Amino acid sequence: MEKIQEGVYHDARIDAVAGTGVTSELGIGDERMTEKDVYRSNKPPKAVEKAIVKVEEAITSGKEKVQQQFDSTSQPEKENESEANKDGKLGAIGSIQGAVQGVVKEGKQGAGKLWSGAKDQLGLSPSPQQQPSHPVPEYPQKAEVADEIKALPVVVIKNYSTKHTFTDELVVVLAEWAAGLADGGLAHVVVMSDNRDNGRRLEKALPAKPLTSIAVADADPASALSFVQDKLDQYGVQTTLGKEQKLQIERLGGRSSDLESLCHKVRNGLSIEMAVEDIIARGVGELRKSAFGEEVEEGKTMRWSPQQVFFILKSLAKSTELPYYDILLDFPFKGDEAALRSMEHAELISITTQEGRSSTIKPGRPVYRFVFERLVNDPIFRSVHDIALNEKAIASAEATIRACEEELLKLEQIRPLDSGILSSGATRQRADYLLKKIYEAETKVEKLENANALLKKSLKNP
């Protein structure tokens, strides 16, 4: 009953219905009622009420004093009243006025104190630092627009991903639908994805407006340790993390999925060291399949070559991050940015950005650094892929040699035109440059051929 009187409770069963069919609505609406909807009467504050009571008491008391003054003197005496009587009457009236003014002043001060205290309790009093140096104008139209924006619904799309081929069309449809909602001002749209590359689908659907991206990073080591300890306590596993165990947990980084897997394995009876080792071993097996395609059909669908992914893995096993453009412009990529983007989409690597451009390359998951080390340190696996990588480099160097030889033959044909007294020496300078490139390429070929010979011997005697 109290809520009904305050206006924050409504029984829809006795509500009126406006409209017909599917367009009908309840008269009260369906928004949730809050404290802002409480009915507040125009009753004055308590300080004002007290001031009014004091004024009335002062006036009543003053009237009584005046009446006593008049009653103490007779009618004839009133005609010849003295200055003393006049002073008495005026004194009584002045006392009434003074009392009224004093009570009013006291009421104003009390009301001011009451209002200041209310603002302090509600957090409406600005701090000295927040006081504006000049009066801030109010714009009713701007406030109305802000209220309209706040009133828009929020649409959240989770698990926005294209890991499977059958989801490609679904992702495109979702991107177009979300772009229509945002562009039409119908709703705020939040898209949650585990891969930055998926945002390109949204950019294509909404090319005229920039997207606001918020990158969620992995947890820091202290937070990861706290997460594991809390999870183990929830599972009822009584364990104290020692120095060695903390180092093992730090190998997993701060990825929540890996930390959850660790806690489940420990709950099932494994030690922390064994659980971390099992996660790394499983990562090696998954990487062989996802990065190199152990089956022929899987290898055909990959958008990168085995040599490219092995080069990245081998480099990241030595360093925590790689410069993006240095890798992109050098062998074996030579400007093949699509291969790097495809690796990022497959979560083999992650590409960080700086001021809107690609900056560095890191492992797709923190634990992948140790997975890369384990995979690269396998002597048979490393020898096989080193041989393949060297052969690709040899083929590139030999192609350079053949191109230089063909250009030298053409220079030999035009050499007579650049001879004699008026010779500029351009053909001679170009020939020297080509011969230098042939020398460098040939030296590289010989070096790689010798390395391959040693690697092939190691395969014969594993």
pLDDT tens track for 151-191: 788 999 988 876 666 567 888 888 899 988 888 888 889 99
Q: Within 378-425, where are the H helices? A: 379-414
Half-sphere exposure of 34 (CA within 13 A, CB side): 2
The token pair that represents 376 in the structure block: 């690269």
Question: Three-state SS for 73?
Answer: coil
Q: Which amino acid is at 309?
A: V
Class of residue 32 by CB neighbours under 10 A (exposed 0-12, middle 13-18, buried 19+): exposed
- Say whether the peptide bond before residue 332 is cis (omega within 30 degrees of 0): yes
Largest separation between any pair of C-alpha atoms in the chain: 151
Q: Which amino acid is at 15?
A: D
Res. 116 pLDDT band, cuts 50 70 90: low
What does the pLDDT average to over 369-377?
93
Give residue 81's pLDDT: 47
Inter-CA distances, 218 with 124, 132, 350, 420, Å:
38, 40, 12, 70
Q: Closest by alpha carbon to 325, among 368, 345, 354, 363?
A: 354
- Of 38-47, 235-244, 323-332, 420-429, where does the model show the most confidence? 323-332
d(C-alpha 44, C-alpha 343), whole Å: 70
Query: Is 79 a residue whose pLDDT tops 50?
Result: no
Q: What is the pLDDT of residues 233-276, one digit of tens each?
A: 998 887 788 889 999 999 998 888 899 999 999 999 999 999 99
d(C-alpha 74, C-alpha 72), whole Å: 7
Cβ-contact 203, 178 below 8 angstroms? no
Give residue 462's pLDDT: 61
Backbone angles phi, psi at 9, to 5 degrees: -135, 135
Q: Closest by alpha carbon to 389, among 289, 457, 441, 312?
A: 312
**Helix axis angle, 83-122 to 46-72, nearest 10°:** 170
Query: Is 438 a residue whose pLDDT tops 90?
Result: yes
pTM listed for this prediction: 0.61
